[in-house]
Amino acid sequence: MLTRRTLMQTALSTGFVPVAAMAAPLKNIVIASSNGLACCRKGREALDAGQDTLDAVIAGVNIQELDPEDTSVGYGGLPNEDGVVELDSCVMHGPSRRAGSVASIRGIKTPSKVAKLVMERSDHIMIVGDGALRFAKAHGFVEEDLLTDRARLAWLTWKESLGSDWGPGLDAPPDQHGQARLLERFPNARPEWLAWAREVAADPPTGTINCLGLNTKGEISGCTTTSGLAWKIPGRVGDSPIIGAGLYVDQDVGGAGSTGRGEENIRVAGAHTVVENMRHGMSPKEACLDALKRVSRNYGDDLERLKAIRLRLYALRKDGVYGGASLWSHGNRNDESTRIKFAVNDGGKSRHEDAAYLYERPA
Ligand code: ASP
């Protein structure tokens, strides 16, 4: 029987190294941020069906973009400070070495598809704001209201917490002042939305989905898509649509992407840094940790200042080795439910794997 060992022995005795002896056969693999279990499954099934790697990852992230329950991506995403949902996304196609991106686009549920359209049907890489919406509509996308009741409740909760003129006035009867009264404006609200709304109003969450896919031919592509930072200044653009920050793919090496506080990731050109680290021999995990060290360095490694920063990087190398790393081991507090993970599917069901981390979140 021809085993890896006999192939290697043949290689050593004849000096001829068969390709199969140099690397294990590739599998279809899709990795994503932790919200991407269904995305990875969808992407891997698309790869199994022989679809292009970029189409596969876009099919995967479309699940989150269209899911109103995911309040960090696409339809249902948390809005900007004016209560308007603004989306960012970019794509990179390894085999053709092309890229496309949209930023601050309003009214389109699936910005990842518009990013691909920018790549395929324009001579540009990035289109933003109203221009991006008009470009999408010219290609048949339908403009829709992306603000769900749940996201609107959270935005109003934030708005009324600012001590501005929003919320019950000085002359309002005392029983109007409780936050719960706000719920009356949302007949379809679920009671648990209120506690969640208070949480996200106090600590604007990060979210996003990044997805990378590799097929058995060694072709690789990626996509990142997000509604960005909640309550942002209108027009603010994070790292997600920035080629080299929120996503980078080099067909010769592999791909990387990020989720979390985009401002930090842009300053270290995170995804590009990770891919370059892999080019120079680091494993995906080491490559991500090294990029995170640069983020830490930007704060003089001061853990007090770094504690508010959430940032995660994901990497998939061309030979199928993958990894993920986070600045902190856990979300805001240290308990098992908040350990930082990422999603993987290389056959069968998707699974979560623990991300490596730079700093252990104190208990
Ligand atoms: N990276 C995204 C941004 O900065 C947000 C996130 O991942 O939550 O816009």
- What are 149-177's pLDDT values in tens digits? 999 999 999 999 898 888 888 888 877 77
* 18 pLDDT above the threshold of 70: no
Contact 207 CB / ligand 1 (< 6 Å) = yes
Q: What is the pTM of this model?
A: 0.91
Tell me which of 53, 148, 208, 226 is the catalytic residue.
208
Percent of the chain with pLDDT over 90: 76
The values of phi and psi at residue 343, to 5°, are -100, 145
Residue 299 to residue 147: CA distance in whole angstroms: 35
* 215 pLDDT above the threshold of 70: yes
Six-digit token string for 22: 């140099």
Strands 322-328 and 341-345: unpaired
Closest ligand 1 atom number to CA of residue 72: 8
Question: Got the DSSP string for 232-291?
Answer: PPTT---STTSBTTTEEEETTTEEEEEEE-HHHHHHTTHHHHHHHHHHTT--HHHHHHHH
Handedness of CA 342, 258, 110, 213 (dihedral sign): negative
Q: How confident is the model at residue 315 (pLDDT cuts 50, 70, 90)?
A: very high
Six-digit token string for 85: 């949902």
- Which of 229, 233, 236, 242 for mutating ligand 1's site (highest number of atoms within 8 Å of CB)? 229
Closest ligand 1 atom number to CA of residue 88: 9
Q: How confident is the model at residue 45 (pLDDT cuts 50, 70, 90)?
A: very high
Contacts 24+ apart (CB under 8 A), 4-10: none
Contact 273 CB / ligand 1 (< 6 Å) = no
pLDDT of residue 150: 94
Q: Kindly report the CA angle at 314 between 274 and 347, in degrees rounded to 5?
A: 130
Question: Which ranges constitute the DSSP H helices of the chain?
Answer: 4-14, 19-22, 37-48, 53-66, 111-121, 129-138, 149-160, 192-202, 262-267, 270-279, 284-297, 303-306
Contact 225 CB / ligand 1 (< 6 Å) = no
Ligand 1 midpoint to CA 188 (Å): 29
CA dihedral 69, 345, 354, 225 (to 10 degrees): -40
Q: What is the mean pLDDT of the chain?
A: 91
> Across residues 186-212, what is the average pLDDT?
87
In order of 23, 24, 127, the CA distances from 10 in angstroms are 15, 16, 54
* 1 pLDDT above the threshold of 80: no
Q: Which fold has domain 29-146+204-333+341-359?
A: Glutamine Phosphoribosylpyrophosphate, subunit 1, domain 1 (3.60.20)
pLDDT of residue 181: 80
Percent of the chain with pLDDT over 70: 93
Residue 13 to residue 19: CA distance in whole angstroms: 16
Collapsing DSSP states into helix, strand and coil, what is residue 345? strand
Ligand 1 midpoint to CA 153 (Å): 21
Q: How confident is the model at residue 205 (pLDDT cuts 50, 70, 90)?
A: confident
pLDDT of residue 22: 53
Only one residue has tokens 């920018």, namely 118
Ligand 1 midpoint to CA 74 (Å): 12
Least confident among 7-11, 26-30, 43-47: 7-11
Residue closest via CA to ligand 1's atom 4 equals 262
Ligand 1 midpoint to CA 258 (Å): 8
Closest ligand 1 atom number to CA of residue 262: 4
Q: How confident is the model at residue 23 (pLDDT cuts 50, 70, 90)?
A: low
Task: Give ranges for CATH 3.60.20.30 in the chain.
Answer: 29-146+204-333+341-359
14 labelled catalytic: no
